[in-house]
């Protein structure tokens, strides 16, 4: 499949006022630059291209609608420092640079959202709340200790919390130990991506509901086939994450891994009062197959959990399993149910490294978000454009890794099933 085709609507987007999408492409078009994918990466790349080459025409294609598609389906954690999986205390100089780049990018996102709010009078939920990381078992505690060592070595602030302190703040007795770090923003992700898309320059043409079906090299140009017409361009940027492989790029390095989220209705004040003192919080798992949790400003609980390889799970299974995991943390939510459940695709690479750079003449890619690509995607989208302009850029493969090779099917799926069964068993108390 060349693009995502979700069975369930995005829960965050459903909470927003309806938005009229830009029309789909219905003609053949010549453009200087075409970008496939209007997500965190693609929007950042389009805006950077217009900053560096204001006279160029930029065409941005997305198979979905802004807010409804993948970029709006995440849990809304915008980390302003490196992800836990990346946290390696033995590589402090590398991590310090990653943290600085990530922090600067987060500041740009915040400034863009504030500008959007000032221009439109709308409010967009994006707040520096910090984030919790917590472990329920020895498997989770090992990762938590690694993250603590990284924060200590990097001189980053954090607070340690025991079971009682976590229960007091979050209303759950589930976790044995945790850390609170202030370096994270929590967002309504569909609202933020809508705000960022609204900041595109008038010289960028955005076509929604326009999947790229095929890319080919024709002479010195690239040609993108869509259902309603072709786009011919001088420079082509792939910012469609896992689905780049279905256009023939990165097939030996990328996999679409689906993960799932559920959002409860707003809870009554009396119920919320018994659920901790913190009114707007997010918790990331220490184990990589664990569950992400949030309590939102409007009194909802969100859980993100489970993974499936290259296709979504059935709705009934998603709903039952998410409810089971949420209830094990918050038994008082047993009768609450979900307003919305949905899935989204993550561009997964075997070693967590990015697929980034010019892979063929004038064909550039930034893909492989590995589940944490809101801020990082924004950063790597901008840097990709800087590199395409011949500017001096930080060494992205050294900083963020280089996606490693994976064996072809069916070995790949067998390997995935084996590894995920083993890891799920080892981390079963964190799921
Ligand atoms: C449930 C869930 C929770 C997550 N939580 C977090 C989180 O809290 N924090 C975080 O940082 N990350 C999180 N992630 C990961 C995060 O969503 C991604 O890292 C991020 O969206 C990557 O941005 P991107 O622009 O690179 O790619 P994407 O967001 O995947 O955007 C790619 C865009 O390309 C479009 N597209 C795909 N194929 C085509 C095609 N052929 N033609 C045209 N358009 C195409 C898609 O519609 C999409 O809009 C989560 C993901 C999921 C699914």
Peptide bond into 410 cis (omega under 30): yes
CB-ligand 1 contact for 372 (6 Å cutoff): yes
Which band of pLDDT confidence, cut at 50, 70 and 90, is reported for residue 150? Answer: confident
Residue 87 has pLDDT above 70, yes or no: no
pLDDT at 92: 82
C-alpha of residue 363 to centroid of ligand 1, in Å: 20
Q: Which two tokens stand for residue 400?
A: 């963020």
Q: Which residue is listed with tokens 């707007």?
A: 280
CA distance readout (Å), 393 to 138, 181, 357, 414: 41, 29, 11, 38
**Tens digit of pLDDT for each residue in 315-366?**
999 999 999 999 999 999 999 999 999 999 999 999 999 999 999 999 999 9
Q: Which whole number is the average pLDDT over 406-415?
A: 90
pLDDT at 82: 78
Closest C-alpha to ligand 1, atom 3: 74
C-alpha of residue 37 to centroid of ligand 1, in Å: 9
CA–centroid distance for 392 within its chain: 26
* CB of 97 closer than 8 Å to CB of 399: yes
pLDDT at 179: 97
Pocket test for ligand 1, best of 68, 70, 98 (most atoms within 8 A of CB): 70
- The secondary structure of 370-393 as a DSSP string is TT--HHHHHHHHHHHHHHHTT---
The CATH T-level fold of domain 1-431 is FAD/NAD(P)-binding domain (3.50.50)
Q: Which whole number is the average pLDDT over 183-196?
A: 98
CB-ligand 1 contact for 41 (6 Å cutoff): yes
Averaged confidence pLDDT in the chain: 95
Distance CA 222, CA 224 (A): 7
Distance CA 29, CA 348 (A): 32
Q: Which two tokens stand for residue 352?
A: 């967590």
Residue 84 has pLDDT above 70, yes or no: no
CB-ligand 1 contact for 204 (6 Å cutoff): no
Q: Looking at 84-187, which runs of residues are DSSP E strands?
A: 126-127, 131-135, 159-162, 177-181, 184-187
pLDDT at 365: 98
- The secondary structure of 253-279 as a DSSP string is T-EEEEEEEEEPPPPPHHHHHTS-S-S
Q: Which two tokens stand for residue 166?
A: 């976590």
Which band of pLDDT confidence, cut at 50, 70 and 90, is reported for residue 86? Answer: low
**Tens digit of pLDDT for each residue in 37-54?**
999 999 999 999 999 999
Closest C-alpha to ligand 1, atom 39: 3
Phi, psi of 215 (to 5 degrees): -125, 140
Residue 427 has pLDDT above 90, yes or no: no
CB-ligand 1 contact for 241 (6 Å cutoff): yes
Residue 90 has pLDDT above 90, yes or no: no
Which band of pLDDT confidence, cut at 50, 70 and 90, is reported for residue 117? Answer: very high
CA distance readout (Å), 195 to 10, 67, 161, 292: 17, 9, 35, 24
Residue 308 has pLDDT above 80, yes or no: yes
Helix axes 374-388, 40-52, angle to 10 degrees: 30
Which of 161-165, 248-252, 408-412 is least confident? 408-412
**Tens digit of pLDDT for each residue in 121-141?**
999 999 999 999 999 999 899
C-alpha of residue 74 to centroid of ligand 1, in Å: 8
CA–centroid distance for 290 within its chain: 16
Which bin fits 328, alpha (ψ -120 to 50), beta or left (φ > 0)? alpha
Q: Looking at 212-371, which runs of residues are DSSP E strands?
A: 214-218, 221-226, 229-238, 255-263, 281-285, 292-295, 301-309, 340-348, 355-360, 363-367
CA distance readout (Å), 31 to 13, 126, 137, 235: 31, 34, 54, 9
Residue 402 has pLDDT above 80, yes or no: yes
Distance CA 243, CA 192 (A): 22
pLDDT at 243: 97
Distance CA 406, CA 415 (A): 10
CB-ligand 1 contact for 105 (6 Å cutoff): no
Helix axes 92-120, 138-154, angle to 10 degrees: 90
């Amino acid at each position: 499949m060349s693009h995502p085709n979700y069975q369930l609507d995005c829960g965050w987007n459903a909470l927003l006022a309806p938005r009229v999408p830009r029309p789909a492409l219905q003609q053949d078009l010549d453009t200087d630059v075409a970008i496939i994918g209007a997500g965190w990466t693609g929007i950042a790349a389009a805006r950077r291209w217009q900053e560096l080459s204001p006279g160029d025409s930029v065409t941005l294609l997305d198979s979905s609608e802004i807010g409804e598609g993948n970029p709006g389906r995440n849990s809304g954690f915008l980390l302003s420092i490196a992800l836990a999986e990346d946290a390696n205390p033995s590589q402090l100089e590398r991590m310090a640079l990653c943290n600085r780049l990530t922090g600067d990018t987060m500041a740009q996102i915040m400034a863009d959202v504030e500008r959007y709010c000032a221009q439109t009078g709308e409010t967009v939920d994006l707040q520096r709340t910090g984030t919790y990381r917590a472990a329920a078992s020895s498997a989770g505690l090992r990762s938590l200790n690694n993250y603590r060592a990284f924060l200590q070595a990097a001189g980053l602030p954090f607070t340690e919390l025991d079971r009682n302190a976590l229960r007091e703040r979050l209303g759950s007795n589930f976790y044995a130990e945790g850390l609170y770090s202030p370096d994270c923003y929590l967002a309504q992700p569909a609202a933020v991506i809508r705000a960022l898309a609204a900041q595109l320059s008038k010289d960028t043409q955005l076509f929604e509901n326009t999947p790229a079906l095929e890319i080919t090299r024709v002479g010195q140009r690239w040609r993108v086939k869509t259902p309603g017409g072709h786009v011919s361009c001088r420079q082509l940027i792939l910012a469609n994450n896992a689905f780049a492989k279905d256009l023939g790029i990165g097939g030996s390095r990328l996999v679409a891994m689906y993960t799932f989220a559920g959002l409860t209705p707003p809870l009554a004040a009396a119920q919320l009062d018994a659920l901790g003192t913190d009114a707007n919080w997010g918790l990331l798992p220490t184990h990589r197959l664990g569950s992400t949790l949030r309590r939102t400003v409007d009194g909802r609980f969100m859980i993100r959990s489970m993974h499936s390889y290259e296709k979504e799970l059935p709705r009934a299974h998603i709903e039952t399993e998410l409810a089971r995991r949420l209830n094990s943390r918050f038994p008082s939510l047993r009768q609450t149910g979900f307003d919305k459940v949905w899935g989204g695709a993550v561009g997964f690479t075997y070693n967590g490294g990015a697929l980034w750079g010019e892979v063929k003449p004038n064909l550039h890619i930034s893909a492989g978000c590995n589940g944490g690509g809101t801020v990082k995607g924004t950063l790597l989208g901008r840097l990709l454009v800087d590199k395409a302009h011949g500017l001096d850029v930080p060494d992205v493969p050294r900083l963020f890794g280089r996606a490693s090779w994976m064996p072809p099917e069916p070995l790949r799926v067998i390997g995935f099933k084996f590894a995920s069964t083993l890891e799920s068993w080892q981390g079963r108390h964190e799921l």
